[in-house]
Amino acid sequence: MPTFLFDEIIFGPVRSRRLGNSLGINLLPTHAKYCNFNCLYCECGLTARGYGKHSRELPARAVIRQQLEASLRAFREKQQPIDAITFAGNGEPTMHPDFPGIIDDTLALRDRFFPKAAIAVLSNATLIGRNAIREALLKVDHNILKLDSAMEETVRRINCPIGEFSMEQLVTNLSAFTSKLTIQTLFVKGNYQGATFDNSSDEEVAAWLKLIARLKPELVMVYTIARDTPVETLQKVTPERLEEIAGGVRKLGIQVSVST
């Protein structure tokens, strides 16, 4: 099925169901995906073999700052509202070597042009064990961190980590966020390369809820596939099932949003 790449560093603003009028920042190459996950549902497509060569093509911190400043100034002059500035794009934003500094630049520009705008980061959480990454994330308003399953086997089937990955280490790193933690989970079922999966099953959801109770995030985002995916054998989870899952989160006393 067709997928797409963000072809600009600064894009939008787009209307987000969760964040309002959101201006996007893509820290990755504009012509290739750069990610240490290979999620079967990724709207940017699958991660190509040898993706690491694109590390030489990451936009420079100064260029990102200049383009963001120009965009924010233009939107303020047009009196076009910006509710959020969101790091997303063609892969994992925390893989940019200047990510902490870029966060500092963004905070300063936000305060200058749109002080009421929130700053959000969409991340697969694999690098939050690094002190500089964690400290940078704790400065922003919304850390939206991926947790598609409490079971390592399922994560390996759906998210397909590239390189070293440990579910135990991921949970330890997530536990270090005592504030500003949002967990984002995409529920999906299907099969790929002979392996089947369904992270919306009773067993999966029970284990996931147990982990959510342990992490105590401020917010949990529950959703399913809504756009084209690179793997055609994936199936959406029904709105009814998403609501059942969300009900389990509410019983924990944790705020939850549902997108179908």
Mean pLDDT of the chain: 93
Query: What's the sign of the alpha-carbon dihedral 58, 61, 63, 67?
Result: positive
Q: State how far the alpha carbon of 19 is from the alpha carbons of 24, 143, 151, in Å.
A: 11, 12, 29
Each residue's pLDDT tens digit, 203-220: 999 999 999 999 999 999
Alpha-carbon span 149 to 231, nearest angstrom: 19
Single pTM value for the model:
0.92
Give mean pLDDT, residues 16-30: 89
Band of pLDDT at residue 156, cut at 50, 70 and 90: very high
CATH architecture for the domain at 10-259: Alpha-Beta Barrel (3.20)
Each residue's pLDDT tens digit, 184-203: 999 999 999 988 999 999 99
Give the start-to-end residue ranges of the domains of the chain. Answer: 10-259
